């Protein structure tokens, strides 16, 4: 009996090898392109890295804006400078000249 299991007919062996190949290709497909496949995992890691970088950049921008806001609350010179530049305000007694091109 064990001798007959060892020697399958040639056609039977080919079918067995074909079946193994199909099973292997199925597993490879699932590992590479399935819902939790390598392609999606790599894509998720890239997205995570870019999101983390964006978070760091936004935190830096937040700190700069908070510092600028604090300066606007306390720095009278900055307020005066911005009022002169943005709003065109002048002090009492000053003369303003506008140059037209």
Whole-structure pTM value: 0.56
Q: CA-to-CA distance for 50 and 31, rounded, in angstroms?
A: 25
pLDDT at residue 94 in the model: 83
Q: List the one residue out of 96, 64, 70 whose CA is nearest residue 83.
A: 96
Non-local (6+) Cβ contacts of 33 within 8 A are 39
Which carries the bigger pLDDT value, residue 46 or residue 87? Answer: 46
What one-character DSSP code corresponds to residue 34? Answer: S
Q: Around Cβ 79, how many Cβ atoms within 10 Å?
A: 13
Q: Kindly report, residue by residue over 16-31, the tens digit of the pLDDT.
A: 999 999 999 999 988 8
- Give me the helices (H) in 1-101, please: 2-6, 10-33, 38-74, 76-87
Q: Kindly report, residue by residue over 60-77, the tens digit of the pLDDT.
A: 999 999 999 999 999 999
């Amino acid at each position: 009996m064990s001798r007959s299991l060892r020697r399958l007919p040639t056609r039977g062996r080919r079918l067995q090898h074909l079946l193994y190949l199909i099973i292997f290709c199925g597993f490879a497909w699932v590992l590479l392109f399935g819902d939790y496949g390598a392609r999606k995992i790599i894509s998720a890691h890239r997205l995570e890295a870019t999101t983390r970088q964006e978070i760091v950049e936004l935190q830096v921008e937040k700190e700069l804006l908070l510092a600028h806001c604090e300066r606007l609350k306390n720095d009278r010179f900055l307020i005066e400078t911005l009022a002169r530049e943005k709003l065109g305000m002048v002090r009492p007694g000053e003369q303003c000249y506008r140059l037209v091109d």
